[in-house]
A = this chain, B = another copy of it.
Amino acid sequence: MEQVTKFKEMLMKQKAYGYVLNVTGWDSNTEAPRGAFARRAEMLGVISGELFQLQTSKEYQDVVYGLFKKLDKLDDITQRQIKKAKKDLDKMIKIPQDEFIEFNKLINLSQLVWQDAKKNNDYDSFKGNLEKIVEFTKRFIKYFEIDDLPYNILLDEFEEGMSMKEYDAFFNIIKRDLVPFVKEVLNSGKTLNDAFITDTYDAETQKKFADYLIDVVAFNRDNGLMKESVHPFTWNTHSGDVRFTTRYLENYMFSSIFAAIHELGHATYEQQIDPKWDNTNLNGGTSMGIHESQSRFYENIIGRSIEFWEVHYPKLVELFPEQLKEVSLDDFYRGVNKVEASFVRVEADELTYSMHIMLRYEIERMLISDEITVEELPKVWNEKMVEYLGIEPKNDTEGVLQDVHWSYGMIGYFPTYALGSAYAAQFYYTMQKEMNIEELVKGNEIKTINNWLKEKIHNFGSSKTPKELLLEVTGEEFDAKYYVKYLKEKYTKLYL
C-alpha cells in the first residue's frame, strides 16, 4: 500500500531529527560546558521547529488519519503503529499552538521557581505556578476529546491502559496488606551494624566497582557505555547505542552501586530490543511501568539479594579493605536492605517506597478531580506522611516540594514507579517457575536471566502494550499480591 510506504518514509525523516536532538541531549546532560547552552537553545529551537513542522504537517496528518480509517486492512504491526502515530498526532495538533507555547514557557520558568522554592522552603512562591500548570493540564485534557475522567487520561498517557480503577485496586492492596506490615517492621526494634554505610569511599575506587558491575550484569560494552552525571539516567538511540550514568558520593557509596544496577536494568532492556523496530515507532521500551519493572528487578530483586553479595562482596572488600574490614557479609546485606521511615522518595528503601508513591497518587487524584486545591497540598501531604509512615515533614523542602515532576507538568507519572516494582515481583514469580534465580545470581550467571527477559519482554520493544505483555508473560492480569508477597517474605526474614 502506497500510503503505508509514505508513512514509513515520513516517520524515518522525523526519526533522524529526533536522533540528532537526542545525541545533543546526551551531551547537554553529561558534559556540555555552561557556555554551550544559550546558543544551543537557539540552534535546537530551529531543529525542533523543523521537526514539529514534519510531525504536524498536513501531508503527515492526511497519511496517518487516512490509514487510521482503514485500520482493519492493515497487518497487526502496522495497525499498532498507526494507532500510536494517531494518538501522538492528536496530542500535538489538538492543543492550540499559542497555548502550547505558553505552557512550555510556563514549565521552563516553573522549574527555576521550583528550584528556588525548594531551596528556600517557600511553597507559597511556587504555588501560583503549580496552579497554572494544573489549569493548563485540565484544559489540554479537554482538547483531546477523550470520553474518560481527566486523571484517567493522564494516567493512560504515562502507562497505556492504566486508569484509576486499576491503580485503586493496586493501592488498596498496598494499604490493606503492606501499610500494617511496614509499621511492624519499623517498630521491630532491630538494630543494625550499619555505620559503614556513611563511611568515606573514594570516588575513583567506587568507579572501579561500578565498572565491575557492568560485566556482572553482562551489559554489552560494544553497544554502550557508562558515564557520570548528577542525576543518574539511561539514554539510548537504538539497541546498538545504550548509555547510562551513575554518580559518586564519597559519603554514600550505595548511591553509585544501586544507581548503576538500576540503570543497568533500564539499559539491558534497551540493549535487548530487536533492531527490527528501529525504523518504526514501536522502538524502545513499551512503557514507563515496564521500564521501571526492569530497573527495579535488577536493582532490588537481584542487586539487593544475599546471593548477589555472596559473590560480589569480596570484590568490594578488596577495593575498600579499610572501610569494610569489620563488616560481615550479613551486616552488609542488612545494610543494603535497611528499612527506615524517611521523608524523601528518592532516598526511600525498597519496602517503604510505595508509601511515597501512594501518597502522590492520592494527592494527584484529588487535585485533578477538584477535591483539594493547590493551596492545601502541603497540609494533605504531611497528614498522609503521618498516616503511612508515621513521620511528619518538618518543612516543605522535605515534603511537598521535594520532587521536580509537577514543575515539568508531569502529573500522572509517579504511579508508574510503584507499578514498576509490582510488575517486577509478578515477573519474578513467573520466572521462578522456569529457573532458580537465586542460584543463577550466586553462580554469576545473570546472562541467563537477561536471555529470559529478552525472549519474553525486551525483544518486543513497544509492539506490545504493558497489559498484553503482562498477560502473555505471566498468564495473568496485573496483580499486586505478588509484590506484597515478595516484600513480606524478604523483610520478614530480615526484620521479624
Contact = CB atoms under 8 A, between A and B. Distances in A.
Interface of A: 12-13, 15-17, 19-21, 23-24, 26-27, 31-36, 38-40, 43-47, 50, 220-225, 227, 237-241, 243, 278
A278 B221 contact: no
28 contacts: A12-B46, A13-B46, A16-B43, A16-B44, A16-B45, A16-B46, A16-B50, A17-B47, A19-B44, A19-B47, A20-B21, A24-B24, A26-B27, A27-B27, A33-B224, A33-B241, A33-B243, A35-B222, A35-B223, A35-B240, A35-B241, A36-B240, A38-B240, A39-B241, A39-B278, A40-B237, A40-B241, A43-B237
Nearest to A23: B24
B222 A39 contact: no
A21, A34, A45, A241: residue with the most chain B Cβ atoms closer than 10 Å:
A241
A170 B31 CA distance: 43
A17 B21 CA distance: 11
Nearest to A21: B20
Contacts of A50: 16
A214 to B, nearest CB: 12
A43 to B, nearest CB: 4
Given A36-B223, A39-B237, 20 more contacts: A12-B46, A16-B44, A16-B47, A19-B40, A19-B44, A20-B21, A20-B47, A23-B23, A23-B27, A31-B227, A33-B221, A33-B225, A34-B223, A35-B220, A35-B222, A36-B237, A36-B241, A39-B238, A39-B241, A43-B237
A32, A43, A220, A222: residue with the most chain B Cβ atoms closer than 10 Å:
A43
